[in-house]
Structures are given as C-alpha cells and as structure tokens.
C-alpha cells in the first residue's frame, strides 16, 4: 500500500513539473535560448528527489571549456543523475531516439544521436559534437557503448574521442578538456548494496523499461555517487587512443574507489 502510494505521488509530481517545464524547454530549443541548457537540470533534480535517488558528489567538475565528460554506464539512472549534477548534453546511440519516454527526454535535452555502425556518418556526428563543445556546452560520452551491471567498467571504444580532436581548432586555448567521471550506486535504504544487489539499479537492456522504472520508484531510496577525476588536456598533437586508455583507467579507478569499502558481498 505504501509503495503504491509512493508511486502515485511520484507520478503526480513528475507530471505536474513536466507540464510546466517541457513547453518552456520547447520554446528554449526553438529559439536556442541558453535556458535550454539549465532547465533539464531543474527537471532532473526534481525527478531524482521523487524517485528517492540521493546524490553525493566527490571531486570537482572542470571549470575549463571546451569540456567532454566520459563516464561509465550501467543504467538510464546515470542520465538522471548526471543531469541533476550539471548542465550537460549526451552522446547517445540512434536507437535511444525511438525509446518511449527517454527518447523524448533525450530530444528535449538536445542529445547528439550517433550511428556507430555507419562510419561514413562519423565525421558529421563528430563535427556536431565538436561544435557543441566549442560553443561552451558540456558533452557527456559513455565510451563503453552499452550498459554494464554497475560493478565494473567494460571495454572502452575510442572512436568518438575524435570529437575532442575536432573541437581543438575552435578552442581559444588550443585545448579540449576530457574529464573522467564514475557513477556508482552504493546503498539502498542506507544499507550497502554489494555486487550481487547492485543490479537493482543497473539496467542491462534486456529488462523491460517500465517494470524496472516501477521497481526503482517502489524502492524509494537509492544512493548514487558521482566522482569527478583528473582531466586530460587534448591538444592537436594528442594521440586519441592514448587519451582513451588513460581515461578508461581513471574511470575504472574512480569506480573501484567508490565501491570499495561499501560492498557487502
């Protein structure tokens, strides 16, 4: 009964906030107001509160621009959490645009949709990402290309790091900042999750979205940690694969650091 009441109240509040903010966001997108970058953060903070997601941030978001954030990826919750922390836009696979609910939200946040299998389109996609960063937007890349179980970083794909290289000529300093970020789900109702229970927050993709969303709302208390790491300066002479390997190592270390000491296996 309590869980059903929580789901109902969360749905009512989220719907009410969406009715107010979404038309304003559509206008901001239509006229390219800078407000379009800030409104999603307001919406996501309210939604995280309604879902019972408590966010703790360690480290600092880089103040330098252009900036690309590279993060591990275990769930649709990652997008909610990152958007609640900073004014960001995401690089997403083209399939996301057709997803119910999240496809619409991704478009409202002006995500960059990419087709990884079509190499002939990679240059255009990288140009768009580079242009957005050069304009001062913070772009988030999930370099694994898929979701994990939340316990580890999967193999990182280096191809879209090329967008950082393409943004270098437009940078006043000749540098693009690439910062590693780890998102870890560490507690549920104040109790350490442990590696066997962390899939409660993870969404590997073979689980239906709506039941997973309902489970999260029913749970009502998940702690998420966002850890910002040491950035890498990407310049004209920088090796893309070396940057990819360095960022992957730093994300892995950040993630392990967030999880270590809190796990109950």
pLDDT in tens, 4-61: 787 788 889 999 999 999 999 999 999 999 999 999 999 999 999 988 899 999 999 9
Q: Is the pLDDT of residue 219 over 80?
A: no
Q: What is the bridge-based pairing of β-strands 53-58 and 138-141? A: unpaired
Q: What is the CA radius of gyration of the chain?
A: 18
pTM for this entry? 0.90
Q: Is the pLDDT of residue 110 over 80?
A: yes
Q: Which of 120, 180, 171, 173 is nearest to 144 (CA)?
A: 180
The pLDDT of residue 98 is 85
Alpha-carbon span 2 to 218, nearest angstrom: 9
The pLDDT of residue 123 is 61
Using CB atoms within 10 Å of the CB of residue 97, give its burial: 0 to 12 exposed, 13 to 18 middle, 19+ buried.
Answer: middle
169 Cβ neighbours under 8 A, 6+ residues apart: 236
Across 168-264, where does the E strand assignment appear?
176-188, 191-192, 222-228, 232-234
């Amino acid at each position: 009964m309590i869980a059903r009441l929580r789901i109902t109240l969360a749905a009512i509040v989220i719907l009410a906030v969406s009715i107010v903010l979404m038309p304003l966001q559509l206008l901001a997108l239509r006229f390219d107001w800078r407000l379009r970058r800030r409104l999603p953060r307001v919406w996501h903070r309210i939604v995280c509160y309604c879902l019972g997601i408590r966010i703790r941030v360690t480290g600092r978001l880089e103040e330098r621009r252009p900036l690309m954030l590279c993060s591990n990826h275990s769930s649709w919750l990652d997008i909610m959490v990152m958007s609640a922390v900073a004014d960001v836009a995401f690089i997403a696979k083209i399939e996301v645009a057709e997803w119910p609910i999240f496809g619409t939200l991704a478009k409202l946040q002006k995500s960059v949709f990419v087709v990884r299998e079509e190499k002939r389109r990679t240059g255009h996609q990288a140009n768009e990402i580079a242009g957005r960063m050069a304009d001062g937007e913070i772009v988030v890349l999930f370099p694994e290309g898929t979701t994990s179980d939340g316990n580890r970083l999967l193999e990182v794909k280096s191809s879209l790091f090329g967008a950082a290289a393409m943004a270098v000529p437009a940078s006043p300093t000749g540098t693009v900042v690439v910062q590693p970020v780890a998102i870890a789900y560490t507690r549920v109702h104040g109790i350490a999750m442990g590696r066997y229970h962390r899939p409660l927050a993870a969404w590997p993709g073979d689980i239906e979205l709506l039941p997973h969303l309902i489970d999260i709302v029913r749970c009502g208390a998940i702690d998420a940690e966002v850890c910002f790491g040491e950035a890498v300066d990407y310049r004209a002479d920088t090796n893309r694969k070396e940057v990819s390997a360095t960022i992957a190592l730093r994300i892995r270390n950040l993630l392990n650091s967030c999880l270590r000491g809190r796990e109950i296996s």
